[in-house]
Amino acid sequence: MSIFEGIWVPLVTPFRQGKLDLYGAQQLALNLSAAGVHGLVACGTTGEAATLNEHEQDKLLCGVMEAVQDRCPVAMGIGGSDTRAVTEKIERLNALRPAAFLVSAPSYVRPSQEGIRLHFEALAAVAESPLVLYNIPARTGVNIDVATVSALEQHANIVAIKESSGNLAQTMELINRTSLRVLCGDDSLLFNMLCLGGHGAISAAAHIRPDLFVHLFELVRAAQLGSARALFKQLLPMIQLLFSEPNPGPVKAALAMQGQIQDELRLPMTRMSAAGRVKLARALEKLMTVPVAGKSAQPESAVRGKSRLLGLVR
């Protein structure tokens, strides 16, 4: 299996009183790697990368890589509208040797498909780590068409795509027409994409019960679709709540309820609403009773006790 398969998690960036909480990020990375996730992404959209300066981004990447070491690969999220500036950033980050660069299409400027192709080709030419394309038109304003992806796969350094268009027809084309690893970027479509032949996911929701997301991937790979469907049905209510308000507010709220990080974001991102946290607490408590494969569920009374200690609203 390629390393660009399975369940990857785009790490939230913990803050404490406005400052980067590197220790919190390292502990979170260790918890996720111990749960069996196949890879991590530092400084992605979920990591509030747009609010981190260069020093913080470098420090976060190095800190996470140091924490997990060889337990799982760590990719670096990259974005920008100016090809020259993004190229210079990749050249600087080459020295840190991330497992890959996860790179979104240029945002705001809305280039042509030729411009998108030339942008990624320029980045791939200087990157000393593989490139994972990131197609998220809702944020960038442009779609990376299948024909463009097909042209880009000719570059040996472009190995995968995180597909977040929400378009299953396009996803099927990517899987059938290209040799790239296709990773789900829309968590609510995870089961569908895996069944269509997708190779995994870069999943923000997998911060919560990552063991279950890994097990879902394994079930589909083993063609145990009935069990996979039943498990995804249990995961879906939490997934929907985690994206009911702007990401990563709900994810950070859930992690804070578990005592893993502080519930703190940088503006313009804000904490999940009080009403949302009430629903999230109930869904989280229920999800915590789902057993890990081959293990017994945690007693409901223990979960309730933990919830009260963490101040969750029932």
Query: Strand pairing partners for 16?
Result: 19
CB 134 within 8 A of CB 161: yes
Catalytic member of 19, 23, 89, 134: 134
Catalytic member of 19, 23, 108, 162: 162
Residues of the chain with pLDDT under 70: 293-314
What pLDDT sits at residue 63?
Answer: 98
The string of pLDDT tens digits covering residues 146-175 is 999 999 999 999 999 999 999 999 999 999
The string of pLDDT tens digits covering residues 207-263 is 999 999 999 999 999 999 999 999 999 999 999 999 999 999 999 999 999 999 999
Reference 174, options 157, 187, 190, 162; nearest CA is 162
- Determine whether the annotation assigns residue 46 to a binding site: yes
162 is catalytic: yes
For strand 100-104 and strand 19-20, is the pairing parallel, antiparallel, or unpaired?
unpaired
What pLDDT sits at residue 288?
Answer: 95
252 is catalytic: no
C-alpha of 83 from chain center: 24
Q: What angle do CA 259, 69, 197 make, to 5 degrees?
A: 85
Query: Strand pairing partners for 131?
Result: 101, 158
Helix or strand (DSSP H, E) at 214: helix 210-221
